[in-house]
Structure 1
Amino acid sequence: MGNHRLRKVAHSLVTGLVLATLLVTTFAPNWVSRIPAAPGYTGQAEAATTYEEADMSAASTPSVVSSPALAPMNALVISEPDRMDSLQRAITRGGGYVYVRQGNTLLVGMHELTPGDLTLAGASAVYEDVVSEDDLALLDPVDRDAAQVWNQLANTDSTLDLDALPDDFQARTSTYLSTPSADSSSPARVDDAPGPNATSVYMVGSVTVQVVFVESQGSTENWSQSEIDKVKAEVVSALDWWSTAATTPANPGGESRPPAFLTWNVNYFSPLEGSQADRDKVTVTTEPIQGSIAQGQNGWMIEVAQEFAPGGAASIRNWANEARNTPGQETDWGMVLFVVDSSNDADGAFNGDGKAGGALLNGPWATVTYDGGDLGVSNLEALIAKMVGHVFGAGDEYYDITNDAGCQNDEILGYFLVEHSNCERNNPVPETSAMRAGDNMLAGYREFRLSDSARAQVGWRESDGDGVYDVLDTIQDMFTVPGTDPICPILHIAGVEVLNEAAVPFDFGLWGDGSGGWSPHIWDENTDTYIDPGFDEPGVSPYYQRTNINWLGYVWGRINEGDWIAGSPSSGIAFDSDNTGYNLMLPGNPGEINSVEIVLMNRWEQEAFRPEEEEILNITFADSVGAGSYESNNANVVATYFADGTPGGWTETSDISYSGGSSLTAQLPGSEACFSIEGQEVTLLYTQSPAYGTGTVYVDGELHSTITYTGVDAPQSEHIITNLSSGDHTVQLFVSSGMIDFDAFQVSTTVSNGV
């Protein structure tokens, strides 16, 4: 059993453009709720200023900082009911890392967070050491189970038990393809979201893992609680391994690679735990260890899955899909790990094929024996990790020269159709990689290393050097410079769509195209031929379509390298997979060229889009008006907007009592009239009426005063703003309540009595 995350080793987590975290809330009309830019862009991710559950408009100020360390797993955190989401955000924004979730518990790396910080965020208990028997007794069964796994991890210092291995161990494994009847054609999808058959396309994001301890009705192999507990710790170690492996530098001591933001949501099903109904569901009519994995694929695996998610041959995939869509515990992906008892078996491998484990390429299932063949249960984590790699598209790199069996160098694997260049066949110097076998597998596992081809096969392709994996680097801003110089020197950006296009293979070759779908090019040992699933074998898995789990997380903008200002969704209350547009208001300088920068962050708060220096947009605002009188309906002087920043929102009304014979009226809260002046005093002309409401006046982005429109009918009433400093000033009038009007304004270079 491994404890590689508990060691005091600083594995790096690089986002490329990591966030210095500061929580704010911005909303129209107060665009001045802005964030000071991080001086010099130095330092690493800091704890948020508050750990209370933040409004979804809260975001993190964009800044380029040094890569913070990936915090080793060093705490068990139990969440209060209904606080899990805010607790996870607090941990990640505080520089920590969430490795595993089970029920209401999290296994995390704390970074510099304290138990007190997490208590404020929603933790009911934080354990940095083993959980006492007294405390265990107070926990509900699922949380107690997670705590017992934590206790095992916290009580061991070794990564692998190499002394238990025979000199010539191999722990043989295989990958498999599903039969045509097991996977129907993909149903219609919304945009590029994963369909119900796409349960493990690439290894980025959150994953639900259903771990099944398969029991037989016979007496040859029977699970004990101690065996189950050992395997659970091995499972957690194997899953956490992938979180760290994503960030492993290409060269020892080099720069860390990007994170994959992996959080594993683990559920266990055994004959000794849970409800009696669930215990019965994992009991099958055959002794799994006595057959082959291929027999299990079409036999006892389906027998178990059918009990949880009926669907015949498709029941395993149905179960994985339903598991990832569990209300309150939704994840991006889902898989099923079947563990077969082999404690009484001579070689710890499936008798029918001599294999210690196997997996369906790109999921949804994997299986291992309790002993992992000749590995032994104390080293089972390495085998589980390799099987998880297969579930997410990585091929087996092992080649058996004696039997001329194993991988082929010209296989094309994974969502990105990656050449199998680290296959050991005819390869004099293969890379260290956990997807190999025997000592080579363990060497890769100990060092958190995968070959470059295996990394790309599981989706960890980073092609443009910006520190974001391509599958998360899908967002592009569509904002363009207005066709005419804006009148209001506050740039109103409204309803700008963000382009979010799924990353796809660079070269589809003969195996598909980006408009339809594509499949890998796989060597089938059983027939000694290549198979192109979905083309040569319609309905066979894996078959890929454009798949995107990313979306816009936050928008930030600034003008002339000033303060960063947060944008808001153009629809809905939060950025999510359904909201792809944004609104933003940025204050600039009238009569000048203003440089505009807009930064987009993905759902993991990575900086996913920032314009290059030569791509920064320049916008010239109109000149301020000087001393004189101006009508509100003069579109060359006054700009009007709805609350979201869209032009309009005001209606022109004619009457001889108005200055110039007309006035503008509005009644939707947040509607705005904006203009800029050069002077020390401005007088707003408005109409008092019992039918009107109230308006608020902002000067240079600061709340200045309130106009109460109610009262005796009095057209051309005056609201005087005086004692302004010399120079340019921006004036905004917003609807607060009811209907208001805006008749005209007068600018003076001298001051009088006013507000």
Structure 2
Amino acid sequence: MAGKKLALTLLITIITLNLWPSAPTAQAQDNAPVQALILLVNDNPAQLTEVVDLLEAQNGQTRHVFPNRAVIALATPDTIQSLAALPSAAAVFTQAIEPSSIDSYGPNGNHIASVWNNLIASQTAPLNVGLMASGHPNDPNDALTAPDLPSVSGRMLLGASAASVTPGYYQTSEYMAGSVAVGVVLVESDGSTDPSTEDWTSAEKQQVFDEIVTGLNWWAEMEPRAHISFVYDDHFSNPLPTSVEPISRPYSDQKYWIADAMSEMGYDASFYFTQVRDYNNDLRAAYQTDWAFTIFVVDSSADGDNRFSDNYFAYAYLGGPFTVMTYGNNGYGSHNMDAVIAHETGHIFHALDQYYSAHQPCTRSAGYLGVENQNSLYGDCTSNENSIMRGGISPYGAKAIDSYAAGQVGWRDSDGDDILDPLDTDLPINITSVSVVNDSVTVTGATEIIPYPSPSRASVTINTLARVQYRFNEGDWQQATADDGAFDGTSESYHFTASLPPGLYTLEVVAVDSAGNVSEANATETISILDPIDGGLNTELHQLSGAASTGNPVNINGMAYHLQGGIITSVEYRINGGDWQLASAQDGAFDSDYEPFTLSTDSLAAGTYVIEARAADGEGNTEVNFPSYGFTVAEEHFIFLPLVVRGL
């Protein structure tokens, strides 16, 4: 093992030398984020956590996770260097991998190396236009509605209780943001019902996975504010058996082969949609992601047109739970499967079709935000832009998505705060109790996340509370403590204790969530700390607004107040322990329980000074524990400039 680690260290060193130039200026210029593949030393989940945590801490972005084997991320060269130094990182790559250099990692390493090489390679495989057009000029609408969904009113009711602000059983892809678990499932006919005409080869299986990851990476790159990452559950290496030959049947016969595949995984519900939903929810729980969906791929390499018998070849259910593709995808071909899965994933997250033959009108709304389909070719729509939801490979290669399709998947920022609307939550917070004992203040309270409201769907959030902060008199923010030990839910109670010197304080408390939202309205409380000797009689001195210099008077403001309602009758001050002098009330008279005042001195010589102030009340009490403030008077310097007059 030690010898292997030494070899891996040498490999990392070689890569590092190729990444970071020696010139400081070049290093600064080249610290832009790049994609990197991080291979893990072994399958210990703690190693994956270590890599992901470092990426998050250094503002990197995790894009693809191959559980306990590897991570593909976007990171700066500086962060990549930090990753390479982790004990959990076997190797870090930023360029294509020579197959021979990855042999020591076994077959899993080769699978991931192939994915990586495909991801960073530029590829523009041609369409077989003739095959696409022959016999089937009008492709059917490929965005279907799942037959097992509750009614709209039922879905709204499911989201009505406080417990459902997080996505529920049917809500596995409400908007495209956050982390997504993806089950990649290939099926293989065993010949027991239909003759087996298709057989997956190792190269075909690998190509399917390569293309799927590349297609999903398209979405991860398109909207950085969505922070999208994908986690893959592998059922492509060993395709799941079915008694039928899927490609020889109509798409509706998916009920047989999907049920067979899910039963093989141990999901035995009576309806195949329920089987897939159970699987998706298990994926979401196991990988702790926000969303989950399944991709089924049917072998069609021996089929003439790469379609099912009823002309379908790729389709998805709006909002999940799954999408289906054939290996050849009509005339797209297997090398353009990335473009196909990118389009179908749009449907998974509620984007509608926009090509004419789908017959989707301009005014149909979809998605969590209820956005209209105004870029559809079916009708006189507001927009006419190249877009991924129009199909073909042109928008995929051009990275084109129109604002309406983007809005349907949740990519809209109405208030321009760089937080996408579905993540733009409200964080109401309250103070439940304040206890003051001598100079100690203990505060309790609660906060929660209110999801961004959906106009037509149950309102849910993937955000979690990140922290609660408090401050006194606009000072530095401090961290409160979650009652359950961690801020990681959608509702939390909190507490904190602080020690304060005598005085009057305004307490502010705010909540912050994982998307960066901050409570719009702070919870506030006024707190009085009585002096053990002076009681409620208190004086405060404010800092000078600018530098003090010789030749100029020094004016210092402050305030005197009585926390027990007494009347302030005078304020005195002295400098460097000298005689006490009277200060001036800013309103002309000391005659209330709250009195701002000003201390005015004549010009002072250069040096350091300490000024003290004390208040007296109507009961004859004079402050004993009074404040002091130190300041410096600088020598005033003059610069004489010659006056030059021309033309005399």
TM over 0.5: yes
Give the Cα–Cα distance (whole angstroms) in 1 for the partners of residues 338 and 319 of structure 2: 19
Instruction: Give the superposition deviation at 1:176.
Output: 1.8
> Structure 1 residues 396, 90: CA separation in 2 closer, same or farther (over 3 Å shift)?
same
Aligned to 1:178: 146
> Structure 1 residues 620, 102: CA separation in 2 closer, same or farther (over 3 Å shift)?
same
**Aligned with residue 107 of structure 1, among 67, 72, 81:** 72
Instruction: Give the superposition deviation at 1:72.
Output: 4.3
Summarize deviations over 1:381-403 as a string: whole Å, max 9, x none. 11101111111111111212xxx
> Structure 1 residues 113, 477: CA separation in 2 closer, same or farther (over 3 Å shift)?
farther
Aligned to 2:323: 366
Aligned to 1:45: none
> Structure 1 residues 587, 416: CA separation in 2 closer, same or farther (over 3 Å shift)?
farther
CA contact (8 A) 1:476 1:498 kept: yes
Aligned to 1:316: 276
Give the Cα–Cα distance (whole angstroms) in 2 for the partners of residues 574 and 182 of structure 1: 35
Indicate whether 1:399 and 2:356 are aligned. Answer: yes
> Structure 1 residues 119, 178: CA separation in 2 closer, same or farther (over 3 Å shift)?
same
Aligned to 1:209: 182
Summarize deviations over 1:169-202 as a string: whole Å, max 9, x none. 6876512223349999778983422222322222
**Aligned with residue 124 of structure 1, among 90, 94, 116:** 90
CA contact (8 A) 1:407 1:425 kept: yes
CA contact (8 A) 1:550 1:602 kept: yes
Give the Cα–Cα distance (whole angstroms) in 1 for the partners of residues 467 and 149 of structure 2: 43
Aligned to 2:385: 431
Superposed counterparts of 1:386-425, under 5 Å: 386-400=343-357, 405-425=358-378
> Structure 1 residues 586, 447: CA separation in 2 closer, same or farther (over 3 Å shift)?
farther
**Aligned with residue 205 of structure 2, among 209, 224, 228:** 228
> Structure 1 residues 623, 600: CA separation in 2 closer, same or farther (over 3 Å shift)?
closer
CA contact (8 A) 1:567 1:582 kept: no
Instruction: Give the superposition deviation at 1:589.
Output: 8.2
- 3-state SS of 1:243 partner: helix
Write 1 or 2 for the structure with the bigger share of helix: 2
CA contact (8 A) 1:174 1:396 kept: yes
Superposed counterparts of 1:421-500, under 5 Å: 421-427=374-380, 429-438=383-392, 442-479=393-430, 492=441, 494-500=443-449
**Aligned with residue 464 of structure 2, among 551, 560, 583:** 551
Greater mean alpha carbon deviation, residues 332-341 or residues 182-191:
182-191
Greater mean alpha carbon deviation, residues 160-169 or residues 495-504:
160-169
Aligned to 1:289: 247
Give the Cα–Cα distance (whole angstroms) in 2 for the partners of residues 501 and 70 of structure 1: 36
Aligned to 1:718: none
Give the Cα–Cα distance (whole angstroms) in 2 for the partners of residues 469 and 306 of structure 1: 39
> Structure 1 residues 196, 168: CA separation in 2 closer, same or farther (over 3 Å shift)?
closer
Instruction: Give the superposition deviation at 1:425.
Output: 1.1
Instruction: Give the superposition deviation at 1:483.
Output: 9.5
CA contact (8 A) 1:102 1:143 kept: no
CA contact (8 A) 2:298 2:327 kept: yes
- 3-state SS of 2:288 partner: coil
Aligned to 1:194: 167
> Structure 1 residues 261, 493: CA separation in 2 closer, same or farther (over 3 Å shift)?
farther
> Structure 1 residues 91, 79: CA separation in 2 closer, same or farther (over 3 Å shift)?
farther
CA contact (8 A) 1:481 1:617 kept: no
Indicate whether 1:602 and 2:551 are aligned. Answer: no
Give the Cα–Cα distance (whole angstroms) in 2 for the partners of residues 132 and 411 of structure 1: 49
**Aligned with residue 137 of structure 1, among 103, 120, 142:** 103
CA contact (8 A) 2:410 2:422 kept: yes
Instruction: Give the superposition deviation at 1:374.
Output: 0.9
Aligned to 2:231: 265
Instruction: Give the superposition deviation at 1:134.
Output: 5.3
Give the Cα–Cα distance (whole angstroms) in 2 for the partners of residues 181 and 468 of structure 1: 30
Unmatched segments (≥5 aa) in structure 1: 1-68, 248-258, 509-543, 638-677, 680-724, 729-745, 751-755
Give the Cα–Cα distance (whole angstroms) in 2 for the partners of residues 183 and 320 of structure 1: 21
Instruction: Give the superposition deviation at 1:437.
Output: 2.4
Aligned to 1:743: none
Give the Cα–Cα distance (whole angstroms) in 2 for the partners of residues 365 and 748 of structure 1: 72
Give the Cα–Cα distance (whole angstroms) in 2 for the partners of residues 553 and 572 of structure 1: 13
> Structure 1 residues 70, 335: CA separation in 2 closer, same or farther (over 3 Å shift)?
farther
> Percent identity of the aligned residues?
25
CA contact (8 A) 1:172 1:373 kept: no
Unmatched segments (≥5 aa) in structure 2: 1-30, 539-572, 575-609, 614-623, 629-648
Instruction: Give the superposition deviation at 1:457.
Output: 1.9
Give the Cα–Cα distance (whole angstroms) in 1 for the partners of residues 105 and 150 of structure 2: 40
Indicate whether 1:355 and 2:304 are aligned. Answer: no
Give the Cα–Cα distance (whole angstroms) in 1 for the partners of residues 338 and 167 of structure 2: 28
Partner amino acid for 2:444?
Answer: G
- 3-state SS of 1:495 partner: strand
**Aligned with residue 337 of structure 2, among 375, 380, 384:** 380
Aligned to 2:22: none
Give the Cα–Cα distance (whole angstroms) in 1 for the partners of residues 80 and 369 of structure 2: 42
Aligned to 1:663: none
Partner amino acid for 1:453?
Answer: Y
Summarize deviations over 1:217-244 as a string: whole Å, max 9, x none. 3442211111111121111111111122
- 3-state SS of 1:138 partner: helix
CA contact (8 A) 2:64 2:71 kept: yes
Q: What is the number of residues matched between the two proteins? A: 504
- 3-state SS of 1:303 partner: helix
Instruction: Give the superposition deviation at 1:262.
Output: 1.3
> Structure 1 residues 181, 167: CA separation in 2 closer, same or farther (over 3 Å shift)?
closer
Superposed counterparts of 1:663-742, under 5 Å: none
TM-score, normalised via structure 2 length: 0.68
Instruction: Give the superposition deviation at 1:361.
Output: 1.4
